[in-house]
Structure 1
Amino acid sequence: MIIVLEGLEGVGKTTLGLALAEATSSLYVKTPPAEFNPVRGAIAKAENRFANFYFYLSSIYTIQKTISPFKLSKDRHAVVDRYIYSTIAYHADGEDFNPPPFPVGSILSADLTVHIVCSDANREARVNNRGHHIFERVNSNEKAILTYFARQCDMEHKNDVTLEESTKSLAERIITRFTK
């Protein structure tokens, strides 16, 4: 099964994704992968929505071979930190949710997409603990992005408790959803 975690910066996608993957003996995959980091800064500085979109889309294409064995598998899982909905939402800072052209059917669909949310106070604390980050999306229309994620994702998970509690709760919800 391919489980995708989507959400705003600082909601705990990476921390929760790593913990969920470990707790369920799943593969954890982050987009863009680390090998994209040397180019990421130049793309961000270009402030070009098409460059942003195709850069992040290329990172999704890059992981297709890695995650394809997990598609619809009942016993093997991949937890993906950001996927196509983030790419679409952020390409124009939440001002336009119609992406530039790409062959939609050419990327694997997730078996489950989870919108991770948390309180503004927790999110602010997490972002502040990170320090300044060149890729923060300070000009994004976060209200529109939240609405977009809520419409696109299969479920929402509130990440305001301890990591252990949040991981256990999300794992239980996923199991319940797929054993009905």
Structure 2
Amino acid sequence: MPYFIVLEGLDGVGKSTLARRLASECGYQLMTTPGTQLLPIRSDIINGLGNSQTARALFYAATVQAEGEKARGFNKQGKTVVMDRYRASTIAYAFERGVTIDLNAMLSQAIKPHLSILLTLDEADRQHRLKQRGTTAEDIETLNSEFRDGVISRLKSMCDIELDLTGADENEAVLLVRQCINRHLILNR
């Protein structure tokens, strides 16, 4: 059975790396929000929307809807999808940025993943990773403990399972995520 698996979490916990590795090693279809066609122009769109957090949230909500529909199409073709961020991150970040529109209701029709995994990491390790790769403007807001704690709290309430990757190197993290998928999806058929 093909599945739709989502990796959620703060920047720097390894979502993108793990999604790429799972796609490569397991033959999953790799996806992200926004999708690959919008990624190269995302910053132009965000900058074009100005400081309106609501407009930015609506852009990300639109990408969730579109990528969810694409994921369903891949599932119908018999392909398991692994997606780097989806609905939960869009809602959690928007809420912490002060967006008051009900994104939960707006995205209630978005395709539901079979499994959403919240990846977490010791905060000192996460910040070290951010510095190593080059901290972006989006990363900076998660350095604020109040903002970060709010996002994590919402993600915990919206994801199926939390997986702490503290102390795991990349290969160990891949193994932990694969075990999580097997335990919660493949073995529970």
Is the TM value for this pair above 0.5? yes
Q: Which residue of 2 aligns with 1:15?
A: 17
Q: Which residue of 2 aligns with 1:56?
A: 60
Give a deviation string over 1:33-70, Cα, whole Å, max 9, x none: 24323243452572212111111012122323421135
Question: C-alpha displacement at 1:29, in angstroms?
Answer: 0.3
Bigger mean CA offset, 121-130 vs 86-95: 86-95
Question: C-alpha displacement at 1:5, in angstroms?
Answer: 0.8
Decide which of 124, 128, 138 is 2:127's aligned counterpart: 124
* Gaps in structure 1 of 5+ consecutive residues: none
Conservation of the 8 A alpha-carbon contact between 2:6 and 2:86: yes
Matched to 1:91, the amino acid is A
Are 1:144 and 2:144 an aligned pair? no
Question: Aligned ranges for residues 143-162 of structure 1 at < 5 Å?
Answer: 143-160=149-166, 161-162=168-169
Give distance in 1, aligned partners of 2:100 and 2:165. 25
Give a deviation string over 1:60-107, Cα, whole Å, max 9, x none: 22323421135599x631001111111111114355686348543431
Go from structure 1 to structure 2 and tell me whether the alpha carbon gap of 1:35 and 1:135 turns closer, same or farther (over 3 Å shift): farther
The alignment's TM-score, normalised by the length of structure 2, stands at 0.82
The alignment's TM-score, normalised by the length of structure 1, stands at 0.86
Are 1:177 and 2:184 an aligned pair? yes
Matched to 1:89, the amino acid is A
Count of residues in Structure 1 that have an aligned counterpart in Structure 2 = 179
Go from structure 1 to structure 2 and tell me whether the alpha carbon gap of 1:147 and 1:97 turns closer, same or farther (over 3 Å shift): farther
Question: Aligned ranges for residues 17-166 of structure 1 at < 5 Å?
Answer: 17-36=19-38, 37-44=40-47, 46-71=50-75, 76-93=79-96, 95=98, 99-100=102-103, 103-138=106-141, 141-160=147-166, 161-166=168-173
Structure number having the greater helix percentage? 2
Give distance in 1, aligned partners of 2:103 and 2:176. 36
Go from structure 1 to structure 2 and tell me whether the alpha carbon gap of 1:49 and 1:12 turns closer, same or farther (over 3 Å shift): same
Give a deviation string over 1:4-46, Cα, whole Å, max 9, x none: 1111111111011111222211011011124323243452572
Matched to 2:87, the amino acid is I
Give distance in 1, aligned partners of 2:117 and 2:46. 27
* Gaps in structure 2 of 5+ consecutive residues: none
Bigger mean CA offset, 21-30 vs 127-136: 127-136
